[in-house]
Amino acid sequence: MAPTPPARDVAIVAFAQSDHRRRTDELSEVELLMPVLHQVLDATGLKTSDIGFTCSGSSDYLAGRAFSFTMALDGVGAWPPISESHVEMDGAWALYEAWVKILTGEADTALVYGYGKSSPGEVRDVLTRQLDPYYVAPLWPDSVALAALQAQSLIDAGDTDEAALAAVAARSRDSATANPHAQVRGSRPQGDYLVRPLRTGDCPPVGDGAAAVILAAGDRARDLCARPAWIRGMDHRIEAHSLGVRDLTDSPSARMAAERAGAFERPVDTAELHAPFSAQEVVLRKALRLGDDVTVNPSGGVLAANPVMAAGLIRLGEAAARIHRGESDRALAHATSGPCLQQNLVAVLEGES
Amino acid sequence: MSKEPVAVVGVGQTKHVAARHDVSIAGLVREAAQRALDDAALTWSDIDAVVIGKAPDFFEGVMMPELYLADALGAVGKPMLRVHTAGSVGGSTALVASNLVAARVHTTVLTLAFEKQSESNAMWGLSLPVPFTQPLLAGAGGFFAPHVRAYMRRTGAPDTVGSLVAYKDRRNALKNPYAHLHEHDITLEKVQASPMLWDPIRYSETCPSSDGACAMILTDRAGAARAPRPAAWVHGGAMRSEPTLFAGKDFVSPQAGKDCAADVYRQAGIADPRREIDAVEMYVPFSWYEPMWLENLGFAAEGEGWKLTESGVTELDGDLPVNPSGGVLSTNPIGASGMIRFAEAALQVRGEAGEHQVEGARKALGHAYGGGAQFFAMWLVGAEPPTR
């Protein structure tokens, strides 16, 4: 049974992100996050105590310790006590939880943040711990190797070739030239093979970073932002975990999420895709039916900056920021989780003309 | 703007034990989920979305296990959210699921929380050394013992109160077939003679380490009308958080707990919790937290909580039964413990709690807390649909 459409208009009214860097040894996670929180609050003039609901996304495995998000909460300044929650996922899903909270009418505004430091460990190794713990994880297949399987499937299916993948990578880094927060910018060689058929340029940089967003409902959003990015729909779907039962050249979960979010009702002009590997952009363009007339990843995308656990939230923030600036009227934002695009979230954002 | 009323129409638990060597993590969660579906007379295809919670990923050594568990929980092609709010997570997870129904985003949601502590070592999981950060080398008991001491000093409670709670909860657990500890030969003297671990907390006043999962099916008004068994209705639900460490923090009775309870009572129209609530499933991992939370939750005036416990009010046949299921002191799959509190509260108002049923329970409170007594999640459920 189809649910009743959202009963409340909710918008992204502010977005801030850190400058993403390969290492931030001098900063704790809280110190990485604090300036971003201040920026996003300053942009709206709101204080922590004005916010109706707070939700964050992060990962203990990146931090290397249990309950790592508790320290970030101290940074938020949760006093007097706040209504707050946390997802052990990318911050994009924290935004989803906050959106639902506002839809219930229990909050009119929400602060959402996501952060991750990949530099203290080996993120390729760390991500293997996401895999089936009994049969797959003991083999330590890393994230690049799994993405390479997906890329090779696409090439074998005739959906792409190495030259096309290189073009995706080059376009992303060129676009990132205009993004002061990006980690990898401007034209650079595609590099050597990391895991065939993927070269360095096909893979995301390893880096640390944080992002934050403020959501608001109805007139509150209009008060806080000259041109709010209204969330017209948002949905997320997951697929089977085992790669052996999935068609890696397709993304049915992304397609389903887009459909439920209303993405196919009218064309979008912009898409911010969370595609950590160049070949995944090929999969997503097809699943999300993005034509050549759609501006894809004007920020440079994840190939230019990949702070794990914030990268998906940044896609929503970048898409919203383009609407805030009047550069887009209808944008699609996408976030992913798990190996080879296992889980996908799609939001459709619009500005009022 | 009106919210959709939310009903609990299915509850499922595993038999909680120290180690479930016979099932994988996936097998464990599947068992609880299947029981919840059976209770609701629904099938996997009736579920629109899955909301899953557990405490730190280091407790099993699986990062973001919802990815691996998608297949086992019938979530393929559906939305799946993973909540983590430390020890309160079981409660928070249920509230996130409840909001999906209340906001009319989905009509029927499976929510589940688990911990399979035997896969790893929780003490290790909480004690990983991190540069420039104080590790919790003493485990949770070492962190909470000084706050219990502060409570005793502040209220003048006699040092016998903690053992009364443990003795009560362990006896209640004997009536709950899913409880982990079934100590048939328990006596008050045995509790009092058990070794001192973190003064004033004795061995028998601490929670066990359990493997277990708890699941609930939440649905809307139409779903409740189709359910074969009575529903529990959500009358109020809230989360509150405060910082771990700061000069103004009251570790004995945190402000976030007070605010959270007040919000739930406001939503549910409860003016006098002591009179209007029939049963409480309270997160009591160390026995002294019963009198402490009685005050924090507004059931007793400040300094008076231990008197309620001492006078037998919180016994199963008392005026305000607390933890008729045996509570966290008898069963502690950490990430699931909060959801078990919420689910047991639902069982009470559905009249489905079996031998540990509180007679005539119409309104029950489920309570969870976590972190450095800084994260709180609560809901109040009733036998009748909410009228406000």
CA B309 → CA B161, B189, B321, distances in Å? 7, 17, 10
What is the model's pLDDT at position A1?
41
What is the model's pLDDT at position B130?
65
Chain B: nearest CA to A53, how far in angstroms?
10
d(CA B261, CA B296): 8
Q: Interior CA angle at A256 toward A204 and B66, to 5°?
A: 60
Q: Which residues 99-128 in chain A show a CB within 8 A of chain B?
A: 100-101, 103-106, 126-127
H and E: helices and strands count for chain B: 14, 11
Contact assignment for B241 to A73 by CB distance below 8 Å: yes
Contact assignment for B130 to A64 by CB distance below 8 Å: yes
Residue in chain A closest to B63 (alpha carbons) equals A130
Mean pLDDT of chain A: 96
H and E: helices and strands count for chain A: 11, 12
Residue in chain A closest to B105 (alpha carbons) equals A3
Chain A: nearest CA to B77, how far in angstroms?
6
Which amino acid makes up residue B95? Answer: L
Residue in chain B closest to A237 (alpha carbons) equals B79
d(CA B227, CA A268): 42
Average pLDDT on A58-74 reads 91
The single residue listed with the structure tokens 């006078």 is B311
Contact assignment for A100 to B99 by CB distance below 8 Å: yes
CB B331 within 8 A of CB B170: no
Of A63, A236, A240, the CB nearest to B76: A240
Chain B: nearest CA to A252, how far in angstroms?
8
pLDDT < 70 positions in chain B = 1, 129-138
Q: Is A241 on the interface with B (CB under 8 A)?
A: yes
Q: How many residues does chain A have?
A: 353
CB A45 within 8 A of CB A220: no
Q: Is ipTM over 0.95?
A: yes
Q: How confident is the model at residue A3 (pLDDT cuts 50, 70, 90)?
A: very low
CB B180 within 8 A of CB B206: no
Contact assignment for B79 to A89 by CB distance below 8 Å: no
Residues in chain A with CB shorter than 8 Å from the CB of B106 are: 3
Chain B: nearest CA to A322, how far in angstroms?
27
d(CA A108, CA A51): 8
Query: First vs last Cα of chain B: how many Å apart?
Result: 12
Contact assignment for B126 to A78 by CB distance below 8 Å: no
- Strands B7-13 and A343-350, bridge-based pairing: unpaired
Q: Record the pTM.
A: 0.97
DSSP bridge partners of B49: B109
Written as six digits, the tokens of A201 are: 């340029």
d(CA A181, CA A162): 28
Residues in chain B with CB shorter than 8 Å from the CB of A55 are: none
Mean pLDDT of chain B: 96
The single residue listed with the structure tokens 């079996």 is B354
B198 sits in which H/E element: strand B196-198
Of A73, A131, A236, the CB nearest to B68: A131
Contacting residues for B106 by C-beta, under 8 A, at least 6 apart:
A3, B48, B49, B79, B100
Residue in chain A closest to B131 (alpha carbons) equals A28
CA B367 → CA A146, B89, B295, distances in Å? 42, 11, 13
Nearest one of B175, B234, B209, B244 to B364, comparing CA atoms: B234
Nearest one of B285, B322, B126 to B198, comparing CA atoms: B285
Nearest one of A89, A320, A58, A44 to A209, comparing CA atoms: A58
CB A150 within 8 A of CB A340: yes
Average pLDDT on A302-328 reads 98
Q: Beta-strand (E) ranges in chain A?
A: 10-17, 53-57, 84-87, 109-117, 193-195, 198-199, 208-217, 229-238, 270-272, 295-296, 330-337, 343-350
Chain A: nearest CA to B135, how far in angstroms?
9
Of B83, B92, B243, the CB nearest to A79: B243
d(CA A268, CA B306): 62
Contact assignment for B248 to A66 by CB distance below 8 Å: no
What is the model's pLDDT at position B137?
56
What is the model's pLDDT at position A2?
46
Chain B: nearest CA to A170, how far in angstroms?
31
Residues in chain A with CB shorter than 8 Å from the CB of B82 are: 87-89, 93
Q: Is A138 on the interface with B (CB under 8 A)?
A: no
- Strands B80-83 and B49-53, bridge-based pairing: parallel
CA dihedral B291, B292, B297, B301 (to 10 degrees): 70
Q: Is A262 on the interface with B (CB under 8 A)?
A: no
Chain B: nearest CA to A62, how far in angstroms?
9
d(CA A314, CA A92): 8
Contact assignment for A73 to B246 by CB distance below 8 Å: no
Nearest one of B67, B50, B232, B304 to A129, comparing CA atoms: B67
**pLDDT tens readout for residues A102-159:** 999 999 999 999 999 999 999 999 999 999 999 999 999 999 999 999 999 999 999 9
Residue in chain B closest to A241 (alpha carbons) equals B68
Contact assignment for B248 to A79 by CB distance below 8 Å: yes
What is the model's pLDDT at position B135?
58
Contact assignment for B77 to A237 by CB distance below 8 Å: yes
Contact assignment for B240 to A64 by CB distance below 8 Å: no
DSSP characters over A42-91: HHHT--GGG-SEEEEE--HHHHTSTTTHHHHHHHHT--S-B-EEEESS-H
Chosen for mutation from A25, A61, A67, A131 (greatest number of chain B CBs closer than 10 Å) is A67
Which amino acid makes up residue A27? Answer: L
Share of chain A above pLDDT 70, in %: 98
Residues in chain A with CB shorter than 8 Å from the CB of B80 are: 236, 238, 343
Share of chain B above pLDDT 90, in %: 91
Contact assignment for A3 to B248 by CB distance below 8 Å: no
Q: Is A65 on the interface with B (CB under 8 A)?
A: yes
Residue A268 phi/psi, 5-degree rounding, is -100, 155
Estimate the crossing angle of helix A29-44 against helix A69-76, to 10 degrees. Answer: 40
Q: Which residues 283-302 in chain A show a CB within 8 A of chain B?
A: none
Contact assignment for B71 to A253 by CB distance below 8 Å: no
Estimate the crossing angle of helix A278-287 against helix A143-156, to 10 degrees. Answer: 60
Estimate the crossing angle of helix B289-296 against helix B255-268, to 10 degrees. Answer: 60
d(CA B235, CA B345): 12
Q: For the stretch B103-142, what's the b/e string if a residue is b when 16 or more beta carbons lie within 10 angstroms of its beta carbon? A: bbbbbbbbbbbbbbbbbbebeebbbbeeeeeeebeebbbe
Average pLDDT on A160-189 reads 97
Residues in chain A with CB shorter than 8 Å from the CB of B68 are: 130-133, 241
Residue in chain A closest to B56 (alpha carbons) equals A66
Contact assignment for A61 to B107 by CB distance below 8 Å: no
Q: Is A49 on the interface with B (CB under 8 A)?
A: no
Residues in chain B with CB shorter than 8 Å from the CB of A259 are: none
DSSP characters over B15-30: PPBS--TTS-HHHHHH
Contacting residues for A292 by C-beta, under 8 A, at least 6 apart:
none
Chain A: nearest CA to B194, how far in angstroms?
30
**pLDDT tens readout for residues B298-325:** 999 999 999 999 999 999 999 999 999 9
Contact assignment for A238 to B96 by CB distance below 8 Å: no
What is the model's pLDDT at position B132?
58
SS3 of A198, please? strand
Contact assignment for B63 to A82 by CB distance below 8 Å: no
Cβ-Cβ contacts under 8 Å between A and B: the total is 203
Contact assignment for B130 to A65 by CB distance below 8 Å: yes
Residues in chain A with CB shorter than 8 Å from the CB of B133 are: 65, 71
Supply the DSSP symbol for A139. G
